[in-house]
Chains A and B, each alone.
Chain A
Amino acid sequence: MAAPLVRMQGIAKRYGGVQALRGVDFEVRSGEIVCLLGENGAGKSTLMKILAGAVTGYEGEILMDGAPLRLKDTAQAMKAGIGVVFQEFNLCPNLSAVENLFLGREPRVGLGGLGRAAMRKGALKAFADLELDLDMDLAVGKLGMARQQMVEIAKALSQKPRVLILDEPSSALSSHEIAQLFRVLKALRASGLGIIYISHKLSEIRELCDRVVCLRDGQNAGEVDPRTCSEDDLVAMMVGRVLEPTKAGNRSVPSGASLLSVKGLSGPPNLSDISFELRAGEVLGLAGLMGAGRTELARLLIGAVPRSNGRVEIQGRELFPKDPSQAVAAGMAYVPEDRKTQGIIRGLSVSEHSSLSAPSRVAGRLGFFRPGRRSALSRYYIRRLRIKARPDQSALDLSGGNQQKVVLARCLATRPKVLILDEPTRGIDVGAKAEVHRLILEWAGRGLGVLLISSELPEILGLCDRVLVMHEGRLNAELRGEDLTEEAILKAAVGSEAGNTLKTYR
């Protein structure tokens, strides 16, 4: 077996009163993909930030090729051969993919001139290596999340690292794009790179990784070969207990009348002629590849984007929202895709989040808060959603799972009839995920209609008994009962059959 490229020994780190890491050992060898597993808050990110030089002031030792390495900043880590793709994108959205790729190490021509030709040449090769087909001159912000992610990876690889850290690279990708990413990672492994892969998706880990190192509460919780252990074993190692899986039998049962009726809805950028019904008590799945228009459909329904055509009814009453506040008033609520930029509000406490969208429940007619109402409202949702927080705690300081519950509470506080969930379990740990699933079914059971957008097929298959599949801005299939399988969803998502027919007729 190859000698370790990087070995971390007895790493400990303290943030104020919180001991994030308590003596963790970790190593990566050349030519392997090792998965770092653990619930949110287990210390994975801290450990990787130390290795990337982004967090200093730790105890313990890092050895690179057997020689001690004391990292002072990220530039030094980069020089030592450690490349990182963090969960948050570090791209300039206004610059093109080429410009982003060479940011900070632009080739020069003469006195301070920019070597555009050299940049293009380098970028063409870098993107070709990743099988990435994109418009290199388009502002990166206009590319989809998946392509942005790949640009980010290309950027990390362009530093010629020996160790590559990937922090949940697949959370923004569709299954199709994940398969592409895996091909690239396996090729990199074969070329001798040591890859550290952080993910919550257990099936991926079993497919991709050679070794799994699990952390729990800032300590090593075990190390296994993913090919010889079951997903249940991985989960048990992570949480230290056995979780009840979401069974297909737990699927929602639509009971009542039609809550939401959408007819011929069209709008930017490419949504056209979308029609469906959502019934009380139903969890309706909305599947599709990244960029198929699922989030855009949600934003159209909630009124964040004006529609160009079509009719939407909530309980038979027409809804034509000028902005989301009107849609919310009509009984719709939306849990957005990106918790950090669209969900959680900086500076607001847990209690203020739940009061924000439901002023009529906490304030009188003139807009003055009634004493005690706000904390009572938030205590109710803290209890019902099992949020691990105090009402007056800043929501930004909570873990990802609890933040997501705070956003969910803010939506539920409006007592919606129709709830749109956009990737509600992205980037949250397994325990919190199971709870969010339980909550979705519980609230649907109370007569809510839920439209569930998710890129995770097991989640959709576990919760929905009817699934709409989008492809290039259109509904390509409606699957239910025996037709509802992973294969069928994927087929419809990549646009086969029905999608092709539509194109022919257009």
Chain B
Amino acid sequence: MSLENKGFLRRLLANPETGILLALLGLSLFLFVMEPKFLSGTNLYLVSRQIAFTAIVALGVFFVILSSGIDLSVGSVAGLSGVACGMAMASGVAVPASVAIGLGAGALAGLVNGLLVARLGITPFIVTLGMLSMARGLVMVVTHGEAVREIPESFIAFGNSDLLGVPLVVWVLVAMALAAQVLLKYTVFGLRVMAIGGNEEASLLSGVPVKRVKIWTYTLSGACAAVSGVLFVARFRSAQSQSGFMLELDAIAACVIGGASLMGGQGTVLGVLIGATIMGVLHNGLVLLQVSAYWQELIIGAVIVLAAVVDRLRHRKR
């Protein structure tokens, strides 16, 4: 009995998610002690919605990171998708079609990233850095920096609706996380993504269509960013030209904090979810504790670096 327990405990500790889960619990406890409002129903509702927006984007970036790439453009792509969706609705296109246009815009931006990375062999860092600027620039060009406000009430109501007291965006996240898990563990695509991240040359030589798989990961990343971007429109009752600004930081941080290796081939969906939760709770806690905005940025940056250091130490031990 005690032996069995020991085995279970050891396995639990060996599990990469355990550490970050403990960190999350510690952080939450600290916030609760400092400010009991942290665990109030209203606050949890707000935090969960905040987390979901980040986590949805992070899931897409996660696949790119698994294949040892990187996507820095997701924040801008989310903004672009929201504006595309908002402008379509404002010009009288039906809501479902507008949503499709928004998602399509994000997927298209991702596809362009993928084609440049896979077909022309340009470094993902520079391609997606360029896309970060281009997508945001395109938004500014078409909106002149103004928000698109003519959003139908039906869409706003739907986007802000709850089910069983949980915001719609959280349900969307749950569905997408399950889909991501299935994609990763039970499909040929998922195995190929892991293989490319583990050893790209070996994957290529054994017949994996490396370019096609890479193009799909970037397209998927763009599409995930678009889901968040479209839901932003309902959340803010308008398509903001600045929405999604710096979102890539939180999304990539969620992956890294969640244990995904930037070298590729390593990470779990659960880890990404926990990572996104830590980022959301951190943002929320700093606001609750009335930390100044300048300090917030500094602290969040420090936490990201800390996560990378902890990951490094954990690997060195082995």
Contact surface of A with B, Cβ cutoff 8 Å: 302, 304, 323-325, 327-329, 333-334, 336, 341-348, 352, 355-357, 359, 363, 367-369, 410-411, 414
Chain B: CB-nearest residue to A346: B198
Judging by beta carbons under 8 Å apart, are A324 and B199 in contact? Answer: no
Chain A: CB-nearest residue to B204: A324
Q: Would you call B205 an interface residue if the criterion is a C-beta within 8 Å of the partner chain's C-beta atoms?
A: yes
Judging by beta carbons under 8 Å apart, are A357 and B187 in contact? Answer: no
Chain A: CB-nearest residue to B263: A346
Q: Would you call B211 an interface residue if the criterion is a C-beta within 8 Å of the partner chain's C-beta atoms?
A: yes
Residues of B within 8 A of A328 (CB): 206-207
Residues of B within 8 A of A348 (CB): 191, 194-195, 198
Provide the bound-state CA to CA distance between A348 and B210, in Å. 16
Give 9 nearest A-B pairs by CB, closest first.
A328-B207, A346-B198, A345-B198, A359-B188, A345-B199, A325-B209, A347-B198, A367-B188, A347-B265
Known contacts being A328-B207, A336-B202, is A352 close to B188, with CB within 8 Å?
A: no
Residues of A within 8 A of B201 (CB): 341-342
Contact surface of B with A, Cβ cutoff 8 Å: 186-189, 191-192, 194-195, 197-199, 201-211, 265-266
Provide the bound-state CA to CA distance between A355 and B199, in Å. 15
Known contacts being A334-B205, A367-B188, is A345 close to B195, with CB within 8 Å?
A: yes
Judging by beta carbons under 8 Å apart, are A411 and B186 in contact? Answer: no
Provide the bound-state CA to CA distance between A272 and B121, in Å. 27
Judging by beta carbons under 8 Å apart, are B203 and A356 in contact? Answer: yes
Residues of A within 8 A of B188 (CB): 359, 363, 367, 369
Residues of A within 8 A of B202 (CB): 336, 341-345
Known contacts being A356-B192, A356-B195, A367-B188, is A346 close to B265, with CB within 8 Å?
A: yes
Provide the bound-state CA to CA distance between A368 and B188, in Å. 6
Chain B: CB-nearest residue to A360: B188
Residues of A within 8 A of B207 (CB): 324-325, 327-329, 333, 357, 414
Residues of A within 8 A of B189 (CB): 367
Judging by beta carbons under 8 Å apart, are A347 and B266 in contact? Answer: yes
Residue of B191, B198, B205, B265 near A342 (CB, 8 A) is B205
Judging by beta carbons under 8 Å apart, are A369 and B187 in contact? Answer: yes
Judging by beta carbons under 8 Å apart, are A325 and B187 in contact? Answer: no
Provide the bound-state CA to CA distance between A336 and B207, in Å. 12
Provide the bound-state CA to CA distance between A334 and B205, in Å. 7
Known contacts being A304-B205, A343-B202, A345-B199, is A323 close to B265, with CB within 8 Å?
A: no
Provide the bound-state CA to CA distance between A269 and B298, in Å. 52
* Sampled A-B contacts (22; CB under 8 Å): A323-B204, A324-B204, A324-B205, A325-B209, A342-B201, A344-B199, A344-B202, A346-B265, A347-B194, A347-B197, A348-B191, A348-B195, A348-B198, A352-B191, A352-B194, A355-B191, A356-B208, A357-B206, A368-B187, A369-B186, A410-B206, A411-B206
Chain B: CB-nearest residue to A416: B207
Residues of B within 8 A of A368 (CB): 186-187
Residues of B within 8 A of A352 (CB): 191, 194-195
Please indicate which of the listed interface residues A341, A347, A410 has the most CB atoms of chain B within 10 Å of its own CB: A347
Residue of B197, B199, B210 near A341 (CB, 8 A) is B199
Min CB–CB distance A283 → chain B (angstroms)? 21
Min CB–CB distance B269 → chain A (angstroms)? 15
Given contact pairs A342-B205, A356-B191, A367-B189, a sample of 9 additional A-B residue pairs in the complex whose CB atoms are under 8 Å apart: A323-B209, A324-B206, A329-B207, A345-B202, A346-B265, A347-B265, A347-B266, A352-B191, A367-B188
Judging by beta carbons under 8 Å apart, are A346 and B208 in contact? Answer: no
Provide the bound-state CA to CA distance between A31 and B297, in Å. 65
Judging by beta carbons under 8 Å apart, are A345 and B203 in contact? Answer: yes
Please indicate which of the listed interface residues B187, B191, B207 has the most CB atoms of chain A within 10 Å of its own CB: B207
Please indicate which of the listed interface residues A327, A334, A356, A359 has the most CB atoms of chain B within 10 Å of its own CB: A356
Provide the bound-state CA to CA distance between A388 and B162, in Å. 54
Min CB–CB distance A294 → chain B (angstroms)? 15
Residues of B within 8 A of A414 (CB): 207
Residues of A within 8 A of B209 (CB): 323, 325
Residues of B within 8 A of A411 (CB): 206
Provide the bound-state CA to CA distance between A363 and B211, in Å. 21
Chain A: CB-nearest residue to B213: A325
Chain A: CB-nearest residue to B200: A345
Judging by beta carbons under 8 Å apart, are B205 and A363 in contact? Answer: no
Provide the bound-state CA to CA distance between A368 and B192, in Å. 12
Provide the bound-state CA to CA distance between A10 and B199, in Å. 39
Provide the bound-state CA to CA distance between A324 and B206, in Å. 7
Provide the bound-state CA to CA distance between A368 and B186, in Å. 6
Residues of B within 8 A of A410 (CB): 206
Provide the bound-state CA to CA distance between A357 and B194, in Å. 13
